[in-house]
Amino acid sequence: IVLGDVPRSYFTESQLESLRRFVEDRGASLLTIAGEKHMPHEYAGTPLEAVLPVVFGPTPEPINAEEPFPWQLTPEGRR
């Protein structure tokens, strides 16, 4: 599944739960493309949050894309 910068309102709660189950229970791959408007911050607190490769803080932090930043594996990625 490829999910881009799609508004949260596009999906019902049931659809998000189905996507989460498809990834967790059936081993489907989920590729998310972060964007400036919706992904990933609008999905905090939804069923999909459990399978997103991010940890949400209390408020979205701006990212200065002009400066390089190091990628780090999550514990799940290390396994």
Nearest to 9 by CA among 38, 34, 45, 48: 38
Q: Which pLDDT score is estimated for 6?
A: 94
Q: What is the pLDDT of residues 22-65, one digit of tens each?
A: 999 999 999 999 888 898 889 989 999 999 888 777 766 666 66
**Does residue 39 sit in helix, strand or coil?**
coil
Angle at CA of residue 57, ends 51 and 74, nearest 5°: 45
Strand segments, DSSP code E, in 1-79 are 2-3, 31-32
- Select the more confidently predicted residue: 63 or 71: 71
pTM: 0.68
Backbone angles phi, psi at 62, to 5 degrees: -65, 145
- Select the more confidently predicted residue: 74 or 14: 14
Q: Which pLDDT score is estimated for 68?
A: 73
Nearest to 34 by CA among 63, 75, 59: 63
Kindly indicate the confidence band of residue 77, based on its pLDDT and cuts at 50, 70 and 90. Answer: confident
